[in-house]
Each structure stands twice: as C-alpha cells, then as structure tokens.
Amino acid sequence: MIAAEVVEHAGNGGFARYAWIVALLPFVSTVLTLFFGRRTPGKGAVYGITAIGVGLVLSLLVLWNFVQDGPTVHDAVDWFSIGSLRMQVGQYVDGLTAVMLIVVTVVSLCVHVYSLGYMHGDERYTWFFVVLSLFTGAMANVVIAENLFQLLVGWEVMGICSYLLIGHWWEEHANSSAAIKAFLVTRTGDIPFTFGIFALVVATGATTSSIPAITEAAERGELSIVWATAAALLLFGGAIGKSAQFPLHVWLPDAMAGPTPVSALIHAATMVAAGVFMIGRMFQVFLHADPIVLTIVSVVAGITMLIAALLAMIQGDIKRVLAYSTVSQLAYMVAGLSLGEAGYTAGLFHLFTHAFFKALLFLGAGSVIHAVHTNEMTEMGGLRRPMPRTFWTFLIGSAALSGIPPLSGFWSKDEIISTAFHEHSYILWAVAAFTAILTAFYMTRAVLLTFFGEYRGHGHPHESPAVITGPLIVLAALSCVVGFLNATAFNIYEFSEWVHIGEGEHPPFNYGFAALSIVGAVLGIAAGYRVYSRYREPEPLRALGPLYVVLENKYYLDEIGWRGIVRPVRDQVSAATYWTNQHVLDAAVNATAWVTRKVAGVANLFDRRVIDGAVNAAAGTAGFTGGLLRYLQSGNVQRYAAFLFAGIVLLAIVFTRV
C-alpha cells in the first residue's frame, strides 16, 4: 500500500475561490431566459447553454486547484441573525465539491444541448429551459453550500424544479399526478431532514449551521452520541426521500412521465445524487454517531438495491428499466457510504461515474423514444441498424453499468463490492454481488429488446440529429475514461486524493474480487442473451409465476400507500378539518359578527334617540319660540309704532333715572 503524501500547499485556493460563480450563473440565465427567452433567436436556450458552458470551464479550473493539492476554500457572508444563530451565505469548496460541480455542469450542458433537439417544437420550450437553468443553479448551490440552511434552500428548489419538469406535459393527468407524487414523497423525506438540520444546529450551540463548523465539531467529538445519532438518522431520512431509497423509492419510476432530458439530468445524475452527496458532506456526523446508524443505512441500501433490480427485470417501458436501475445504483452508493471511512471514497466515486453513464443511457433511450414515438420495448427492436450512433453509445453505457472493465462502472462498483467484503459486511457483499448479476441481466435484456431482432413497431425510425447524438458521444467517451481517475489496479488514486475521509487508505487492487465481478457480469449478460436473444411473446419472465405478479405490482407498495395514507387523509382527515372549520372557526367568526351587530344596534339606537333627539329638541325649541315670537309681527304698522314709542319712553326713563 502506497500512502501518498498529502502536502498542503500554502496556496489561496486558486480558482476554487470562484466556485460560487458556477452556482450564480445558472440563476442569471434563468432570469434572462424567463424575461427575454421568447424574443431571443433560438427561443432562449442560448442563455442556459452559455451559463453552464462557462460554469463547466470554471468547474474544471476549480478542480485544477485540487489536482494541485490546493486547500479547501471556505467563505461566508452574514445575512441576518436570529438570536444567537447567524444565517450566512457562502461557499465551502473541497474536493467533493469540485467533482460534484464537474458532474453537474457536464451533465447539465449535455442535457441542454440534447434538449435543443429533443424539445424542438414543444409549446413550452422556453419555460423548459428556464426551469432547467433554475434547477442547475439550485443543484450547484447545494454542492457549494457553506451551511445547512443554504443547502436546504437549494434542496427544496430542486424539489420544485423536479415537480415542474416532471409535469412539463401536464395536460396528461398521469403526468401531473406523477409530479405531485414525486413532490410529496420527497417532501416526506424532507421533514426528517429539516429536523436533522435543527438537531445539528442546536447540538453545536445554536450559533451557526455552517457545515465545516459542524463537521469539525463532530470530528473532535464535541457532538454527544445522542445528538449525532439522532441527527444522522434524521438526515438519512432526507436522503431516503431524495435518493429514492426504500420505502420512499416509489416516486422515481413514476417520474419517468417527464421528458427524457429531465429524467437524465434530475433523476439519474444530479438531484437523486444530492441525497448521497449530503450524506458524504455530513459524514463526520454519521461516523460519530452510534454504529447502529450505519447499520440501518446499509440495511436500507441492501433492501433497496435488491428490490429495485428485481423490478427492473420485468419492466416493459425502457425508461422504467433505467429508473429502477438508478434506484438500485443509488443504493450501491449509499451502501458504499454505510461501510464507514473505508467506503467513503468508493461510494462517492460510484456517484461520479454513475452520473455519466446513467445520463448517457437515459439520453440514448430518449433518442430511441424520439425515433419510434413509444416507450414500450415491445414495439421496438432491430434499431441498431437505423440508429447506429445511438446503439453504440447505449451499448457502452450498459456495459459501464454492468461493470465491464475497463469502463468506469467497473472501477467504481467493484470497489464498493470489495470494500464490503473487506469490512466484513458479508451480507451486504452477497446482496451487492447478486444485484450486479441482475444488473447485467436486465441491461442485456433492455439492449436486446430495443436494438436487436426485427422492428416490431409501425413507424420509420431513423437516427436522431447531431444535437441529440452529440451529447451521447461525449458522455460515452466520458464513461470510458473517467473510471481511470481511480483505477486502483494501475495505482491511480486521483479521485481518492480529492475525496477522502481521514488519511484515506488506498486499498490495493484485489484481482480476485475483480475476477469475481467480471464473472458475475458475464453470467448476467449470458443469461440475458439466453432468454431474450429471440423475441418471444409473452414476456418470458412470466414463468416466474407468482413472483412475477408480485413484481408486476411493485410489491403492492403503491396500494399500501393509497389505502393506508392517501385515502384516510384525503377523506377522513380532510372531512374532520372541514367540520372544524365550519362549526368551530366559522362559529366563532359568526358569533363575533353577531355581537358586533348587536353593539351596532345599540349604538344606532343611542345615536338616533339620544343624540338626534338632542339636536331635534334644540331645533324644536327654536321653532317653538319662533312660533311664539312671530305673533309679534302683526303686519299692523301702528302696532309697531306703539312698540316704538313705548320703547322710547322706557329708554328715556332708563337713561335719566338709572
């Protein structure tokens, strides 16, 4: 084992200091596309592509800082304070951040370019790009977030963008339902996540939610076991929701109702990876919690891995195969992380490589769907001849996923499997190995059904235009190459340098396990070929009988959800709330109104009788006295003269005698 010397260069972080620009640019392009998109030639896609293109260049420069062993960058500005809690906005850029930025910008850029072709002619074309840019900005924000609340903001914005994008064609009821389901299920995971953040903030003295501050406190052992365990479990809840682990995995297959570029970006490479990323970020908390936490994590991962792979085997919709595959692979990443320090790098490396080939697979599936206008593999077949570029890139992607060396999937998945064994998690190892075989099987099935045999559809498929196949080629190339960033067989540990916990052991390459993995993959492929080389109706796997029925109904989880949660809440809880509103709240309001009316009545009475009475009485008195006085006016001049003279006499008396 060669321990690489990690020399901390006393640099200032180079371009890593500008990582925040990568997060800012997509927000700028969101605003620009929103306001000026329709009027720009090309309908506004240019803003997003430019922003992310620049972001990609910048991300490479950020990574360069870490290639040169530069330091982590930590900047924050105060926003406001609540009591002793300081809310800040900032960036925390370490190796993990750098590689995640690469993932986000590369995949996002490929998806943007791809969408130029795929979404061409769509009536909400500009809006699509607005939300894509917004999403990219949010994900980048999550990746560079300096503190947990900033991360939470990006997290939630991603949730909204996911909802908006899944429901892009909301005119179909199925699409809008899927969007709501995705949003609500991930939200269910977000509740424990938020409480996990609160727990960590409180545990560190309620002064900051800064990630480095919290992780360093955990590392130094300042977090009590109780707090750390509680926080870790709650945070993991968020990861379960966002990264579609059992039991909150149900939304991901339905999310395939969205356009394929969305599936590639959000539901393969980035948003679902955010849960895994978050665990990686807060790993010190997990490490310093009770060991039961990591056990729970690995159990969940193991279950998810297996059930998802089983479900992938029987899907007829090509995107659903890939969706369940994603769930399964995410479980691999979580499983890797659950192995503790040893599995940290492996799990995150798999995240890195998976992003590329899964995005490739989705985009390839999109290309196929675009050509044959259906998702169902039963109506495809023999497409390798009319669509060669799509075929070859898809093949490379499936090979990478299946773990065929020297493609990237092999290096990352094998790492996890062997680490599991080394860490004595034998059950996990067995499950992971079996799942790898299943993975190879269902991907072979997908490839055979789609590209081989005779075309069973009704259209005239032809190769997709360059804007679609271009990104496919790029991603295929990356899928071939990025594995070598951590090709332990050749003692390349670049990725481990960037992303590691602790001193980062570099486990040697175990040829035995590698051979086992390759054998497993080949077994899976062979089995797949055996069953599906000739297209047969009905689906051959129906031979599994009742097991097939269970799989077909997705383990009846959806029924449980509907009957156990949705219907009671919708019908009974809502009814109770309605009753309370009508009889309690409205009663209070109406009572207040009644009292006010009565008071107003009294006031009215007072005003009319007393006040108006006084005024009327004054007027009446004036009138009455006037009525009396008018009798003085007799019209008789002599009478007036009499008064006059009488007055004179009186005045004379007064003036002379008084």
* Position among 5, 454, 633, 654 found at the interface with other proteins (CB under 8 A): 633
Alpha helices in 68-210 (DSSP H): 95-118, 125-144, 148-166, 173-203
The reply to whether 460 sits near other proteins by the rule CB under 8 A is: no
* 231's tokens: 């926080």
User: Rounded distance, CA 304 to CA 430, Å?
Assistant: 14
In the complex, minimum distance from the CB of residue 658 to other proteins, in angstroms, rounded to a whole number: 14
Rounded to a whole number of angstroms, the minimum distance from the CB of residue 649 to other proteins is: 5
Please choose, out of 266-274, 370-378, 550-558, 645-653, the segment that lies near other proteins by the rule CB under 8 A. 645-653
Evaluate whether 12 touches 74 at the Cβ level (below 8 Å): no
Interaction between residue 636 and other proteins (CB under 8 A): yes
Place of tokens 């899927």: 178
The amino acid present at 207, given as its one-letter code, is T
As a whole number of Å, the end-to-end CA separation of the chain is 137
Taking the CA atoms of the chain, what radius of gyration do you get in angstroms?
37
Burial, 359: exposed, middle or buried (Cβ in 10 Å; 0-12, 13-18, 19+)? buried
Q: Which residues contact 104 (CB under 8 A, 6 or more apart)?
A: 59, 136, 139, 140, 143, 269, 270
- In this structure, are residues 368 and 441 in contact, taking their beta carbons and an 8 Å threshold? no
C-beta neighbour count of 431 within 10 angstroms: 24
654 binds other proteins (CB under 8 A): no
Asked whether position 569 contacts other proteins by CB under 8 A, the answer is no
Nearer to other proteins, 573 or 646 (CB): 646
CA 30 – CA 145 distance, rounded (Å): 19
For other proteins, the closer of residues 466 and 648 by Cβ is 648
Q: Within 405-434, which residues bind other proteins (CB under 8 A)? A: none
Rounded least distance, CB 621 to other proteins, Å: 19
Q: Which is nearer to other proteins, 593 or 651 (CB)?
A: 651
**Per the omega criterion (within 30 degrees of 0), is the bond before 247 cis?**
yes
Name which of 587 and 644 has its Cβ closer to other proteins: 644
User: Which range touches other proteins (CB under 8 A), out of 240-248, 322-330, 365-373, 640-648?
Assistant: 640-648
Among 129, 641, 654, 658, binds other proteins (CB under 8 A): 641
CB of 652 to other proteins, least distance (A): 6
* Least distance from other proteins to the Cβ atom of residue 624, Å: 14
**Residue number, 576 or 650, with CB nearest to other proteins:** 650
Candidate residues 7, 637, 654, 658; the one interacting with other proteins per rule CB under 8 A: 637
Provide the minimum distance between the beta carbon of 645 and other proteins in the complex, in angstroms, as a whole number.
Answer: 5
Please identify, using beta-carbon distances, which residue of 7 and 629 lies nearer to other proteins: 629
Q: Which of 173, 537, 656, 658 binds other proteins (CB under 8 A)?
A: 656
Among 206, 576, 619, 653, binds other proteins (CB under 8 A): 653
Contact in structure between 277 and 151 (CB atoms under 8 Å): no
Distances (CA, A) of 60 to 18, 19, 108: 11, 10, 14
Indicate the residue among 202 and 644 with the shorter CB distance to other proteins. Answer: 644
Instruction: Report helix, strand and coil shares of the chain as percent, to nearest 5.
Output: 75, 5, 20
Tokens of 389: 């570029």
Backbone φ and ψ for 557, nearest 5 degrees, come out as -65, -35
By the rule CB under 8 A, 39 interacts with other proteins: no
Binding window for other proteins (CB under 8 A); candidates: 132-140, 153-161, 522-530, 639-647: 639-647
Q: Pick one of 536, 635, 654, 658: the residue that binds other proteins (CB under 8 A).
A: 635
How far apart CA 609 and CA 230 sit, in angstroms, is: 71
Q: Which helix (H) or strand (E) holds 87?
A: strand 85-93
The C-alpha atoms of residue 494 and residue 333 are separated, in whole angstroms, by 19
- Note whether 658 binds other proteins by CB under 8 A: no
Choice between 79 and 643, CB closer to other proteins = 643
Query: Is-contact 408 99, C-beta < 8 A?
Result: no
Residue 1 or 628: which CB sits closer to other proteins?
628
Structure tokens at 262: 């969305």
Shortest approach of other proteins to residue 592 CB, angstroms?
A: 57
Residue 645 sits in the site that holds other proteins (CB under 8 A)? yes
Identity of the residue, 580 or 634, whose beta carbon is nearer to other proteins in the bound complex: 634
Of residues 10 and 637, the one with the C-beta less far from other proteins: 637
Site membership for other proteins, residue 638 (CB under 8 A): yes
Tokens 């061409």, residue? 120
Q: Is 634 in the site for other proteins (CB under 8 A)?
A: yes
CB of 657 vs other proteins, minimal distance in Å: 10
Nearer to other proteins, 556 or 640 (CB): 640
Buried-exposed string 4-15: b where 16+ CB fall within 10 A, e elsewhere: eeeeeeeeebbb
Q: Environment class of residue 652 by beta-carbon count within 10 Å: exposed (0-12), middle (13-18) or buried (19+)?
A: exposed
Would you say 84 or 633 has its CB closer to other proteins?
A: 633
Is 639 among the residues that bind other proteins (CB under 8 A)? Answer: yes
Q: Which is nearer to other proteins, 460 or 657 (CB)?
A: 657
* Cα distances (angstroms) measured from residue 615 to each of 183, 324, 600, 623: 68, 86, 21, 12
The stretch near other proteins (CB under 8 A) out of 202-210, 403-411, 422-430, 634-642 is 634-642
Size of the site for other proteins (CB under 8 A): 18
The residues that bridge with 81 in the sheet, in sequence order, are 86
The smaller minimum CB distance to other proteins, of residues 2 and 629, is found at 629
Beta carbon of residue 626, minimum distance to other proteins (angstroms, whole number)? 10
Which one of 120-128, 166-174, 563-571, 638-646 is the stretch in contact with other proteins (CB under 8 A)? 638-646
CA atoms within 13 Å, Cβ hemisphere of 443: 31
Nearest to 517 by CA among 599, 616, 439, 612: 439
| Nearest of 350, 361, 549, 353 to residue 443 by alpha carbon | 361
Of residues 84 and 656, the one with the C-beta less far from other proteins: 656
Using the rule CB under 8 A, give the single segment among 160-168, 326-334, 412-420, 633-641 that binds other proteins. 633-641
Go through the chain and tell me how many residues it has. 658
The footprint of other proteins on residues 184-223 (CB under 8 A) is none
Q: How far is the CB of 631 from other proteins (least distance, A)?
A: 6
* Ranges within 602-631 binding other proteins (CB under 8 A): 630-631
Piece of 14-22, 250-258, 399-407, 632-640 that binds other proteins (CB under 8 A): 632-640
Q: Residue 87, exposed/middle/buried by CB under 10 A (0-12, 13-18, 19+)?
A: middle
* Positions in the binding site for other proteins (CB under 8 A): 630-631, 633-639, 641-642, 645-646, 648-649, 652-653, 656
